[in-house]
Each structure stands twice: as structure tokens, then as C-alpha cells.
Amino acid sequence: MHKKVQALTIPAQRIKIIPDSHPLPKGHDLSDTLIKIRGLKFSRGERMIIDGIDMDIPRKGITAIMGPSGTGKTTLLKLIGGQLHPDAGSIEVDGQNVHKLKTSQLYALRKRMGMLFQSGALLTDLSVFENVAYPLREHTRLSEGLIRQLVLLKLNAVGLRGAAQLMPSELSGGMARRVAMARAISLDPMMIMYDEPFTGQDPISKGVLVKLIRELNNVLDICSIVVSHDVQETLSIADYVYVISDGEIVGHGRPEDCKVSDSEWIRQFIDGLADGPVPFHYPAESVLDDLITGNTKS
Amino acid sequence: MSTRTIEIMVGLFVAAGIAALFMLAMKVSNLATYGGDEGYIISASFDNIGGLKVRSLVSASGVRVGQVTGIEYDSDGYEARVTMSIDPQYDKFPTDTAASIMTSGLLGEQYVGLQPGAEEEYLKAGSEVELTQSALVLEQIIGQFLYNMAEEK
Amino acid sequence: MMLLFDKLQSLGHSSLTSLQRLGRGHVFLMQVLPAMEGMLFRPGLLIRQMYSVGVLTLLIIVVAGLFVGMVMALQSYYALVDFGAEDSVSVMVVLSLLRELGPVVTALLFAGRAGSALTAEIGLMKATEQLSGMEMMAVNPIERVIAPRFLAGFLSMPLLAAIFSAVGVMGGYLVAVELLGLDAGAFWSQAVSNVDLYHDLGNGMIKSAVFGFVVVWIAVFEGYDCVPTSDGLGKATTRTVVHSSLAVLGLDFVLTALMFSE
């Protein structure tokens, strides 16, 4: 029932984007694609999580993937990282089809990807310093002195050099994410994926994270993918936005386009309206049936 | 906790485990008696060995001098043939030594007891003990006793 | 009639789920075993796990071993003294420790202490995305997280069982000789003449190695396979203790039948 309503309303209201009509931000070249997703489908059990997505993510700049909770955004990142296998379709990262790679090739590709998990995913039995040093120790044979220098530089970049000797349990959520960012850039990747970086952060932490994502992207000149449902923060840093709902792309364009879009769906999402194309009520029998006559299938 | 402390603790743990194994092997099992492989083998034939088993004790004057290494039935002589390994330091058993199967206690294990004779020459590897005495089978003794009682009356 | 079909369905469903888990467990094992060779290059990982799996379990093993040995000595004394066979107390204590109590009780305590901790630790690493995080850092978590724990558990179990038995024998000695006044020489010599190195001690050690393998396999699998929620983690920890205890007792029967039947 739920699904049917969506399918009827959304495709008609996709926002129209004409990429050539506006000059794109500097360094944001749509033609140089790093990640190319075609016809991607993924389901868990009988639930379709991603239902046919085509997406191009450029080599430089920040691409945001937005949408309500539970619409397969995190799943999409895991598919790009090769942690999940799609039912159909393909993902090419830097010309390599992620799901056709051998394990060793996939691992080689992952060394060039950074990923920031929602919780930070720091290794709890290692100190902040060791966490950032971990990828370096695993994948390089640098001397201890060099590792120390690199780690402190990366920690300095996120403003946490002073916290190097703390344990992850002593960090606040925002600090843990910043440490995780330092770790994600320790191998100088070509791209970083941020999974819900702003969720559950106070306004100051959000501000810090926004600034860091923007700065890191500019300084390292890489591809950043931000998955989020925090509208204002994400729109403020993104160069390009994809909006997903129910496993499908319902719109994409530059942030300015989204802000002025007249799509009913985009409006509901951006303005945070309680009812709209995504209904307030979870699909159910009518109130009359349910409460008065008690005439329900249980 | 520092890596060094952890490594020391683990080292202690492994050492304790090996020490425990060693203690069990030396103190409460027959590791010491496995030297029996190097002993010399002698054999003896008995009419009846009772409950004697491989690895049963061989003793002289109550002192353990070796162990039983093999038991088989000799279908030519209709006898049980017992091979024993005698520890090498006990190499002065005269050739007329007698072997008998005894029981430690009323219900205890059975073992081979050696009673040295008086000959000048000694048993050596492959020798056969000629003088043997079979196991006392309790049922037979009781049976005989009852039979005698009945006869006396 | 409907009820019957419902019952049948739930029976079929649970059998299928169990079979599926069993299959996943074996696939998982096949992934873990080849990852063992990575241990050769990183002994540090193994040592850290030997500490948390072995050293931290030592205390409970020593205390339990001491009391089990003491109780065994008392009980067998009371049983044997009626037959004037109290000299055999040491044989009773040593044989039952080496053959059964050492491996089995150690494995049960090991499942409760180290197994549940392993499941909880790995499950929590999964729930907090640490395992995914490692994968995305191009580090194989099976090699870095699972294999060291597996090997440490497998190596620790026989050592713990040996320590349990040794401490148990000492506890038995304390009760038999110091408390009940049996002869110390008879205590040791009776044991020596009735306990075989290979048949009793060796088989006991083989048992404990098998138990160690099974317990640690169940523990790391339950952690790795758990539903990453607090509820799923709790259930996985419980399953580790229940399943590995049952597996130990069942296997003990099979191994005993194989080893000690002449």
C-alpha cells in the first residue's frame, strides 16, 4: 500500500536539472567521473532497498546523497565499498567494477577509499594515536618516526593533536568522528565517504564537521561523498546533490536548485513537513475499522 | 597495561601450563617407567595367568624391576607366554630364577614376582624363565576347599 | 488442525534456521583456518589474546581445580575406606582428573569465562562497525580479529586443563595426606603404577584440545554472526555458553567411547 502511493506520486515530480545551463563550481567537473553506478538493485529478504539507481559521482568535489532514514543511503555506501553485493547492476570506481574484483584487488582499491562510519568505528582497544596509525602500520613499512609525524599531522588537521594519547572511550561523539576522519585520510585516499556525519551532534560539533569536510576536500582535492539527512548542513557544503527515497533517485541537482525546487517531494524533505508524499501515517486500516468496529486482520 | 607486562604474564601462563603437564607426567603417571623400552626382554610360560595384563608390574622382593610387555597363548604348549622387560640395572637374576603370578592384597592387581635362584650365570635378553607358578584362581581354591570339606565328613 | 500445522511449520522453520547456522558456522571456519598463517608474522596479536583468553581465565581454573581435587579425595576416601582400599584414593583422584574432570570442567569454565567474553567482544566490535571499519581500511577482520582469538583459545585450553589437573592433584594430596593422614609415598606410587602417560594423560590432553577448538569456534562464530543490537548480542552470548557446554558434554561421551574402549 505504502509503496504504491509513492510509486504513483514521485516519478511525476522529479526535478529537472540542466547541468549545462549553469556554470559549475570550480573544480567540479561532471565529465570526469570517478564512480559510475548503473542499474543498481539490492534487496534484503523480500524488501527492496535499492531499486534501480544510476548515478555519476565526479572525481573532485563534494557530492551529497540525501534522503529520509531507512532509504538505503548507508547501503549504497557499503555497495560502493564492496562490502555488500548487488542483486543487479554495476558500480565502477576509477574504472574498476567493484564487484568483479578479486579480494586482493578489492583490498587494493579500498586502500584508496576512506570511509567514515556513523559511530566513527574506532578500534576501542587502541589509543587515538594508534587508531590513526593503524592503516599506516597495516599497509606501509614506514619507520616509527615517520609514522609519528604523519599521524600527528593528520590529527592536527582535524584539531585533535592534543588528544593523541586518549582512548576512544574518553572522546565525545564529535571528537570520535574527527579522529575517524584523520584515520580515513591517513593513507591519502582518492575519495572519502561520510556516513551520516552530522547525526546526533550539537550545533558546534556540526559546525566543526562541516568546516572539516569542506576543508579536507579542498586541501586534498579529492572526491567526498556525504550521506546525510541533515538538510541545512549538507546543502551548505555540497557541490551536487542526489535525493533518494525508497531506493530510487527522486531528484538531483546543485544545492541552489534544491532550495528553489517546486517538487512536492523535495519541499517536504527540505522543509521538514510532517505530511506529504511521505505520509505521516504508517500504512494501516482506516481509523474506523481499527478503533471502532475492531474489524481488523491481525 | 604495557605490552611488556602482558608478554611476561603470557610467558608465565605458558610456563605454568607446561610445568603442570610435566608434573603430571613425572609425578602421577608412568613416564619414568617408560624407560622399560631399554630393558632386556625375558619370557616365561604359565599354565594360567589369571588377571595379569600388559604393563602389569614385575617385582622382586616387592621392588619393581620391570613390566609385562606381552601376553599370548602358545597353542603348541597349551600355555600362556608372558614376555617381560626387565630394567637394565637389574641384570643379575640367576638362570634358575622362578617366576610366579601373585596378587597384591585380596582383590588387588596381579603381578609377576621373581624369586632369584642360586646359579652362577645370569638371565640375559631372550632368556626363558623355566620355573613358573601359575596364578591362584580364587574360585578354584574355594571350590577345592569345599570339596575337601565334603570329603572329610 | 490449524494448530497442528502451525506447530509443524514452526518446527520446520527452526530446523531450517539451525541447519543454516550450522552451514554458516562451517563456512566461517573455512575462512578462519587459512587466515591462521597471518599469525606467524604478527605474534604480538596472538600474545595479547593469550592474555585475555588464557591468563585472565587462570584464576577461576586454579580455584576450581583445587576444590574439585579436594572434594574428589574426600569422596573417594569415604567410599574406599569401607573396603580398606583407601590407598587407592590417589588413583581415583588422578584418573578422574586426567580423563574427565580436567578437560570437561576446564572447558565448561572456559566457555563461561573466556567464550562469553569473546562473543561479547566480537559482537560489540560488529555493532560499533569496527569490523566494517577494518574491512574498509583494507584489513581483513577475520585475519586480524578472529584468527588470533581462535588460535589463542585453542592453545590456551590444553594448558588450562593441565593446570587444572595439576592443581587438582595437589588439592587431593592436601586432603588425603595432610588431612586424612594417608601415606605420602603410597599416594604417589599408587598413582604412578596405575596411570598411563599416553592412555590417560595423553588422551585427556587430546580431549581438552578438541574441547578448546569447539568452544572457541562457537564463541567467535556467535560473535561474528550475531545480530548487532543489544538484544542480539545478549542472545549470542547466552548461546555461546549453552551451545558450547552441550557440545563439550556430548563430545566428551563420543571421545571417551572412542579412546577408552579397549
**Per-residue model confidence as pLDDT tens digits over C107-161:** 999 999 999 999 999 999 998 889 988 988 888 899 889 999 999 999 999 999 9
At C19, list the grid cell: 541447519
- Averaged pLDDT, B26-41: 69
- Averaged pLDDT, B40-46: 88
Closest CA to C59 of C5, C123, C113: C113
**Cβ C162–B21 below 8 Å, yes or no?**
yes
Cβ distance A213 to A62 under 8 Å?
Answer: yes
pLDDT bin (cut points 50, 70, 90) of residue C181 is: confident
Is residue A297 scored above 80 in pLDDT? no
Give the gap in angstroms from C-alpha A124 to the nearest C-alpha of chain C: 8
- Averaged pLDDT, A17-45: 65
**Cβ C50–B13 below 8 Å, yes or no?**
yes
pLDDT bin (cut points 50, 70, 90) of residue B88 is: confident
More confident residue, C120 or A18: C120
Out of B6, B20, B32, name the one closest to residue C166 (CB). B20
How much is the ipTM here? Answer: 0.82
- Kindly list the residues from chain C whose CB atom is less than 8 angstroms away from the CB atom of residue A83: 132, 135-136
- Residue C57 at interface with chain B, using a CB cutoff of 8 Å: no
Choosing among C48, C137, C227, which should be mutated to test the A contact, i.e. which has the most A CBs within 10 A?
A: C137
More confident residue, A140 or A270: A140
Residue C60 has a CB neighbour count (10 Å cut-off) of: 17
**Cβ A135–C140 below 8 Å, yes or no?**
no
CA-only gyration radius of chain B, Å: 23
Of chain A, the percentage scoring pLDDT greater than 70 comes to 88
At C107, list the grid cell: 572447558
- Which amino acid type is present at position A124? T
Please state the φ and ψ torsions of residue A21, each to the nearest 5 degrees: -75, -20
Is residue A15 scored above 50 in pLDDT? no
Q: Which of A188-197, C187-196, C197-206 has the lowest mean pLDDT?
A: C187-196
- Averaged pLDDT, A27-43: 77
Alpha helix stretches (DSSP H) within chain A: 2-9, 73-80, 103-110, 128-139, 144-157, 173-184, 203-220, 231-237, 255-260, 264-271, 287
Is residue A204 scored above 80 in pLDDT? yes
> What's the pLDDT at A19?
42
Q: Is C209 exposed, middle or buried (0-12, 13-18, 19+ CB in 10 A)?
A: middle
Q: Is A25 exposed, middle or buried (0-12, 13-18, 19+ CB in 10 A)?
A: middle
- Averaged pLDDT, B104-132: 82
- Averaged pLDDT, C24-28: 91
> What's the pLDDT at A158?
87
- Averaged pLDDT, B122-144: 83
**Cβ A110–C129 below 8 Å, yes or no?**
no
Of chain B, the percentage scoring pLDDT greater than 90 comes to 7
pLDDT bin (cut points 50, 70, 90) of residue A296 is: low
- Residue C160 at interface with chain B, using a CB cutoff of 8 Å: yes
> What's the pLDDT at A255?
82
End-to-end CA distance of chain A: 16
User: Considering chain B, what is the average pLDDT of its residues?
Assistant: 83
**Which residue is associated with the grid cell 555506501?**
A77
- Long-range residue pairs from B6-14, CB within 8 A, at least 24 positions apart, any chain: B6/C47, B6/C48, B6/C51, B7/C47, B9/C51, B9/C55, B10/C47, B10/C50, B10/C51, B10/C54, B10/C55, B12/C55, B13/C50, B13/C51, B13/C54, B13/C55, B13/C58, B13/C156, B13/C159, B14/C50, B14/C159
Is residue A11 scored above 50 in pLDDT? no
End-to-end CA distance of chain C: 52
**Cβ A117–C129 below 8 Å, yes or no?**
yes
Is residue B148 scored above 50 in pLDDT? yes
- Which amino acid type is present at position C29? L
> What's the pLDDT at A5?
38
pLDDT digits (tens, 9 = 90+) for A218-229: 888 889 999 988
**Which residue is associated with the grid cell 606381552?**
B70
Three-state secondary structure call for residue C13 = helix
- Residue C197 at interface with chain A, using a CB cutoff of 8 Å: no
| A270 vs A257: CA distance, rounded Å | 12
- Compute CA B23 distance to the chain's CA centroid, rounded to the nearest angstrom: 23
Question: Chains with ≥3 Cβ pairs under 8 A against B?
Answer: C
pLDDT bin (cut points 50, 70, 90) of residue B2 is: confident
Instruction: Please tell me the pTM assigned to this model.
Output: 0.77
> What's the pLDDT at B34?
57
Give the gap in angstroms from C-alpha C127 to the nearest C-alpha of chain A: 9
For the four alpha carbons of A157, A161, A163 and A165, in that order, the dihedral sign comes to positive
The sheet carrying A248-253 orders its strands as: A113-116, A191-195, A223-228, A61-66, A240-245, A248-253
| A33 vs A39: CA distance, rounded Å | 16
- Kindly list the residues from chain C whose CB atom is less than 8 angstroms away from the CB atom of residue B31: 197
**Cβ A135–C138 below 8 Å, yes or no?**
yes
> What's the pLDDT at A4?
40
C157 CB-side CA count, 13 A:
31
| A49 vs A47: CA distance, rounded Å | 6
| A291 vs B53: CA distance, rounded Å | 85
Closest CA to B13 of C159, C211, C114: C159
- Residue C52 at interface with chain A, using a CB cutoff of 8 Å: no
- Averaged pLDDT, A173-198: 88
Is residue C235 scored above 90 in pLDDT? yes
Cβ distance B2 to C169 under 8 Å?
Answer: no
pLDDT digits (tens, 9 = 90+) for C39-85: 777 888 889 899 999 999 999 999 999 999 999 999 999 988 888 77
Out of C47, C160, C205, name the one closest to residue B10 (CB). C47
pLDDT bin (cut points 50, 70, 90) of residue B32 is: low
Residue B54 has a CB neighbour count (10 Å cut-off) of: 11
Of chain C, the percentage scoring pLDDT greater than 70 comes to 100
Is residue B78 scored above 80 in pLDDT? yes
More confident residue, A258 or A213: A213
- Residue B8 at interface with chain C, using a CB cutoff of 8 Å: no
